[in-house]
Amino acid sequence: MVQSGNGSIALTLHSTRPERPARVPVKATCPNCGGEITFRWSSAVQTTCPFCRSILVRHDVDLRRVGVVSDLPPSSSAIQLGTEGRYKRTPFIVVGRIIYEYDRGRWNEWHIRLADDSSAWLSDALAEYAVSRQVGRAPDVPNAAKLRVGQSFVFDGTEFSVMTLTTAGYAGVEGELPFEYWDKSKVVFADLESKTERFATIDYSEPEPLVFVGEYQDFDQLELTHLREIEGW
Ligand SMILES: [Zn+2]
């Protein structure tokens, strides 16, 4: 291992299949407590240390500590990091989570890594499940202040209408995420529906709005395993 600046430590790669770098399991050492961190998704940009709860951001091969996770709110979800399932027959594993809260409660956005090494989001709100993926840049989306209920947009070939605008608070993070997400406070979301099973979300947490398109899933359809044991189930 190579010690570098800012107390960060270079990642150590352990590979048995160097011809396929995308699937190399990446191990790292927490720059705060020295605990070993194994990435479940090789493209993760941020993770949390399971031992000291430091929030760690990857810069090239270094891990930098940017903060510490405050106590996560109690979870009523059976999903946890490491839960496995299937989306349209493609296996996935849960690698990270963002928790949001708004005036009617909390919901989880579980970051999932699919078998092809792409990633998506499994949302879990009041036992309603959906899988969504970010769509490429959506140039015609106005900023949050100009977005109105009833406006329509075509994303990924489907027409969607804005149904609700929600301001949510960011209540915590856990595990591996595809971007840095540790200094947010309030986030504006627009929920859009279509005439099909598909829905869309516009996320205003970044300067450029992010668009996600997804579909609701039945709990059984997801074939989830490695669930958290919840009393009374
Ligand atoms: Zn640590």
What is the C-alpha separation between 221 and 128, in angstroms, rounded? 12
What is the pLDDT at residue 183?
A: 73
Phi-psi category of 6—alpha, beta or left, where left has phi over 0 and alpha has psi -120 to 50?
A: left
What is the C-alpha separation between 159 and 155, in angstroms, rounded? 6
Query: pTM value?
Result: 0.83
What is the pLDDT at residue 231?
A: 65
Contact in structure between 94 and 86 (CB atoms under 8 Å): no
For 196, phi then psi, to 5°, come to -110, -170
Distance 124 CA to ligand 1 centre (A): 28
Contact in structure between 209 and 203 (CB atoms under 8 Å): yes
Helices (H), 29-91: none
Three-state secondary-structure class, residue 6: helix
Domain ranges of the chain: 5-68, 84-222
Distance 39 CA to ligand 1 centre (A): 14
Q: Which of 83, 89, 139 is nearest to 111 (CA)?
A: 83
Distance 29 CA to ligand 1 centre (A): 8
Distance 221 CA to ligand 1 centre (A): 36
Three-state secondary-structure class, residue 147: coil
The separation between the first and the last C-alpha atoms of the chain, rounded to the nearest angstrom, is 45
**Run means of pLDDT, 10 residues per run, the chain, 233 residues:** 36 36 68 93 91 90 86 85 96 95 90 94 90 84 93 94 93 90 83 95 89 94 92 59
What is the pLDDT at residue 167?
A: 92
Distance 36 CA to ligand 1 centre (A): 8
Contact in structure between 129 and 219 (CB atoms under 8 Å): yes
Angle, CA 159 vertex, CA 158 and CA 160 arms, to 5°: 115
What is the C-alpha separation between 88 and 63, in angstroms, rounded? 34
Distance 48 CA to ligand 1 centre (A): 8
Distance 95 CA to ligand 1 centre (A): 17
Distance 6 CA to ligand 1 centre (A): 15
Identify the sign of the CA torsion 86, 170, 81, 22: positive
What is the C-alpha separation between 76 and 99, in angstroms, rounded? 12
Both tokens assigned to 60:
């090239």
